[in-house]
Amino acid sequence: MSEPTATGLSSLDAARQRLDLASPREIAGLAHLELVARGIVEGFLIGLHDSPRRGFSAEFAENRSYNKGDDLRYLDWKVYARTDRLFVKQFEEETNLRAYLLLDVSGSMGWVSAADRYPTKLEYARLLAASLSLLLIQQGDATGLIAFDDTIRNHVVPRTTRRHWRRLLGELTGLTPNGKTEAGSAIKDLSTRLQRRGLVVLISDLLVDPDTTRTALRYLRHRGHEVIVFHIMDPGELDLPAAGEAIFFDPETGEELGANSAALRKQYRAAVEAAVDSWRKESLRAGADYALLTTDMPLGIALRQFLRKRSRLS
């Protein structure tokens, strides 16, 4: 697969140039994270602009439609939440939001069930973080990064410049999965750094201690911060394979367990559904928004969910 160029991603044919709709496995293998993230965000915004939606109220006539290249600081998020289309407020102040992307880089994030079909969870999370940070910075929001496993691995303080975004990309590119997961301590550490109202986006497979993590999320909300949880799962984690005898491997502890996967499929599926439902309910109870993303979902789906939740802050 050839590398992307400044004018486009030559490795993708015309039907796939909307990178927000492309296969995550395909674009995760491309070089130049900067160009890939730009392609995802630009394609996503173009898609929103072109999306048909009826019933737009005349009370918003003073806002003009978004055009490629417009300053994203002046997008009217409330109008977007109501109409599903992008409009520009020409005389509004920027939000000056301070945002942190809290990224899980533990060993389990490096797992993939089928490398020829899906990216690893960390590769998917890297694309998501790169795209979200560009979207935030383009609209004038200072954006930082904390990468963690059982301790803080990388910390980049929030800034709003394009040069800062490239630094974030450099940090994201260098991340490798390692260690056990301890989201609670990372969230508590972050809460001491956020001195004023901000946005925290947790990107993790949530193979963590649920009670500690939920307590930390509640604390962030108590301090007035908005919280969005992106739960990243490999499609292979949703159900066991139909094969008989299998060995299950824990990437964080190295432990192995032999079992008959066919006999366990029903119980496993029920346990996964219960765990996802619990995270969704407990996140909402803690005041945090929750979204489940599987690594076969185009990045545009994740960005759309983010903007819907982000619009509540405007």
pLDDT in tens, 166-211: 999 999 999 999 878 778 778 877 777 777 778 999 999 999 888 8
Phi, psi (degrees; rounded to nearest 5) at 136: -65, -45
Average pLDDT over residues 159-166: 93
Of 313 and 85, the one with more pLDDT:
85
Architecture, CATH, for domain 98-313: 3-Layer(aba) Sandwich (3.40)
Q: What are the sequence ranges of the domains in the chain?
A: 14-88, 98-313
CB 42 within 8 A of CB 4: no
301: nearest Cα among 86, 50, 19, 4: 19
200: nearest Cα among 183, 178, 181: 183
Average pLDDT, the chain: 80
Task: Provide the pLDDT for residue 93.
Answer: 38
d(CA 217, CA 219): 5
pLDDT in tens, 19-52: 999 999 999 988 789 999 999 999 998 887 655 4
